[in-house]
Amino acid sequence: MNQNKFYVTTPIYYVNDKPHIGHAYTTVLADVLARYHRSLKVPTFFLTGTDEHGQKVEKAAAARGIPPQQHCDETVVRFQQLWEKLGITNDKFIRTTQPEHKAVVREILQELYDRGEIYRAEYTGWYCVGCERFFTEKDLVDGNCPECGRGVSAIQESNYFFRMSKYQDWLIQYIDSHPDFIQPAFRANETLGFLRRELGDLCISRPKARLAWGIELPFDPDYVCYVWFDALINYISAVGYRRNDEEFRRWWPASYHLIGKDILTTHTVYWPTMLKAMNLPLPETIFAHGWWLTGREKMSKTLGNVVDPLAMAEKYGVDAFRYFLLAEMSPGQDASFSEEAFVTRYNSDLANDLGNLLSRVLKMTLRNGGVVPFPGALQPEDEELNTAVLTAVAAMEQALKVMKLDQGLGAVLTAVRAANRYLEKTAPWTLAKKGETERLGTVLYTAAEALRKFAVLLEPVMPEKMATLASALGADGTASRIAELGTAGNVLSGKSVREVGSLFPRVQLEESVAPAPAAAPAPAPAAPAPAATAELITIEDFSKVQLRVARVLTAERIEGADKLLRLTIELGAGEIRQLVAGVAQYYRPEEMVGRSIVVVGNLKPARIRGVDSQGMLLAARSGKELRLITVDGDVAPGATVG
Ligand code: MSP
């Protein structure tokens, strides 16, 4: 990839669609890539926009009884407002009805016509209104559209054609020799599969008698341009093609065209051959992501399972929504959306791991003067955390290069958890009590600096929250670019921290969207009988006990009960419970928070010293010692043990 500039595009969305999670995903992904590149100091141009011509728009306008342009002007704001709400930092929003775009399309058409790349011929075939595409008899699947499965109409008319077929061999060779051109690689194979069949010429006109809403062909006023031919050109008309050579040379070829997998052929066959005919270089990478599904089903208006991005952002916050989209989908693969998965990820990654880390660091620093201390000599555990953080920086940089943002975010969260464990190990609260000021200073500085770096790494994904995090640490205005993370030196010591409230307050799944409750809990295991036979149990006996991993969210002492702690724990899928545990003499409340423990999940609820307890944690006792049973490595809450 050209490292001197970064030009990223989204598809231009059909203006009459209501924006849904698929649109939001591509646009947030492009935004995050753009922000990361700006953060890496790479000159960046980010383009999105709307596709406003064609039969669908014409029909939608007719149904409303208004002119198509008015319909477009009224509906385009849905996208513009959503992008504003989602914090999208596009450098340009192109609309294909803008005069500048239309003029460039007409010039291209005229030039290709003059050079004989476009010719007129009689056409007979099949047409899919939904896809706005022509098919031959042998393309059809069971008589229906091979792309969407809907019915097609027979069509016979005189039309204009682009000589796409003559570029077939060249394109095959180009794809074969440019492994980065179509990503992921299996999508390149899909295109090559398509190119194994004979490639026809592309019908690029529509007679006005049938469709008037389009760009008029400069060489025949009875026709308008095919919507895809017009739409694809947006990627070059937006950056000065035929208008501003300097600008055009600066940005073209695009670094990434991000698209959904359903528009692969138009982008990897039509577009490259069009560019070739125009003697222009091809985009560096066309990246096709997968689909967001509801459960395992395709989202569709008829099924009523389409996720509204605006509603999600309003309910849970823009940054959390952006984070979920990127952390949950492995680009290239399909991903399943459920509010339950959203709440679980939010609570575990954001509320518990990241939010909790910030609140611990702030609390301890405020209790010790409110200023980030200067570090003393580093000890191995400090170095270990620093290494974990640098590993996350490198992983994120690598993830960006190979478009695996979910893995980059995973690496950052692993480092966040390492920072929480670091606080448990170094126990700054004990250092404070013992008056070990220098060591306390080193620990608080190391943890705060790790947090600052996390904020820089996560800023492109959660810009507002990370700005709040940085300002809580007194780090606003300091080095905030990934490119500077390795060289910034100590920017925090001496800075005053400030309380910012809960960064990610925990959320709970509303009952209306919660999954059906699990079957009634099995009865608690009978108390062991003293007889020798009771020492051996069958596997069935054992399986009655449901052991599960839980994460401790809060812990506090119970007044008047010096052995007990009241814990809130998370058991996965948004399930939160209260537990009373007899561990107060062995663990301080703050030492419990963030741990992954093992609990009996199906114990009959009990009331202990007036406090309800829904389960029991497991611990090993040896003489006067008691140690919690914890889980080795990162295991999600709710996982079964056994
Ligand atoms: N107007 C054309 C694109 C022209 S680009 C020169 C178009 N528009 S669209 O609004 O129908 O679709 C835009 C994008 O949304 C496509 O990339 C499509 O893959 C994507 N998605 C539609 N449903 C989706 C999901 N359920 N999940 C993820 N993306 C999906 O096609």
> Does residue 369 come out as left (phi exceeding 0), alpha (psi in the -120 to 50 range) or beta?
left
End-to-end CA gap in the chain = 48
CA 279 – CA 285 distance, rounded (Å):
18
Whether the bond into 207 is cis, omega within 30 of 0: no
pLDDT at 263: 96
What confidence tier does 475 reach under pLDDT thresholds 50, 70, 90? confident
Q: Tell me the per-residue pLDDT of 377-408, one tens digit each, with 9 for 90 and over.
A: 999 999 999 999 999 999 998 998 899 999 99
* pLDDT value, residue 515: 52
Predicted local confidence at residue 609, as pLDDT: 77
In this prediction the pTM is 0.79
Task: Say how many Å lie between the CA of residue 400 and the centre of ligand 1.
Answer: 23
User: Ligand 1 pocket: which residues have CB below 6 Å?
Assistant: 11-14, 17, 22-23, 25-26, 51, 231-232, 259-260, 262-263, 291-292, 299
The highest-confidence range among 28-32, 153-157, 610-614, by mean pLDDT, is 28-32
Q: State yes or no: pLDDT of 32 exceeds 90.
A: yes
Better-scored residue on pLDDT, 364 or 609 = 364
Distance 127 CA to ligand 1 centre (A): 20
136 Cα to the center of ligand 1, angstroms:
24
The whole-number pLDDT of residue 511 equals 57
3-class state of residue 354 by DSSP: helix
Between 639 and 230, residue with greater pLDDT:
230
CA of 20 to the centre of ligand 1 (A): 10
Q: Is the pLDDT of residue 611 over 70?
A: yes
Q: How confident is the model at residue 210 (pLDDT cuts 50, 70, 90)?
A: confident
H/E run at residue 45: strand 44-51
Helix axes 318-328, 463-472, angle to 10 degrees: 110
pLDDT of residue 513: 57
Question: Which of 8, 9, 10, 14 most suits a substitution to test ligand 1, by most atoms within 8 Å of the C-beta?
Answer: 14
In this prediction, residue 518 carries a pLDDT of 40
Residue to probe by mutation, ligand 1, list 53, 291, 333, most atoms within 8 Å of CB: 291
| Closest residue by CA, ligand 1 atom 23 | 22
**Cα separation of 276 and 164, whole Å?**
10
Burial call 257-288: b when 16+ CB within 10 Å, e when fewer: bbbbeebbbbbbbbbbbbbbbbeeebbbbbbb
Distance 523 CA to ligand 1 centre (A): 51
Rounded distance between C-alpha atoms, residue 161 and residue 624, angstroms: 87
Substitution site in 26, 56, 307 for ligand 1 pocket (most atoms within 8 Å of beta carbon): 26
The rounded Å distance from CA 262 to ligand 1 centre is 7
**Which atom of ligand 1 is least distant from the CA of 11?**
5
Torsion over CA: 35, 38, 42, 47 (sign): positive
Distance separating alpha carbons of residues 56 and 12, to the nearest angstrom? 14
CB 331 within 8 A of CB 408: no
Residue located nearest, by CA, to atom 7 of ligand 1: 13
CA distance linking residue 422 with residue 401, whole number of Å: 30
Measured from the CA of 293, which atom of ligand 1 is nearest?
26
Say yes or no to pLDDT of 16 above 90. Answer: no
Q: Which atom of ligand 1 has the smallest separation from the CA of 271?
A: 6
Ligand 1 mean position, distance from CA 620 (Å): 55
Crossing angle for the helix pair 309-316 and 68-85, to the nearest 10 degrees? 30
Burial class (CB in 10 A: 0-12, 13-18, 19+), 118: buried
Closest C-alpha to ligand 1, atom 29: 22
pLDDT at 516 (0 to 100): 47
Q: How far is the CA of 350 from the centre of ligand 1 (A)?
A: 29
Comparing CA positions, the residue from 489, 503, 502, 506 lying closest to residue 458 is 503
Residue 120 three-state SS: strand
Going by the DSSP 8-state scheme, the letter that residue 125 receives in this structure is E
**Averaged pLDDT for residues 616-620:** 91
CA atoms within 13 A on the CB side of 600: 22
- Ligand 1 pocket test: pick from 263, 270, 328 the residue with the most ligand atoms within 8 Å of its Cβ: 263
* Average pLDDT estimate for 326-339: 92
Query: Regarding predicted confidence, which is higher, 276 or 614?
Result: 276
To the nearest whole percent, how much of the chain has pLDDT over 90? 68
C-alpha neighbours within 13 Å on the C-beta side of residue 409: 29
- What spacing in Å lies between the alpha carbon of 147 and ligand 1's midpoint? 13
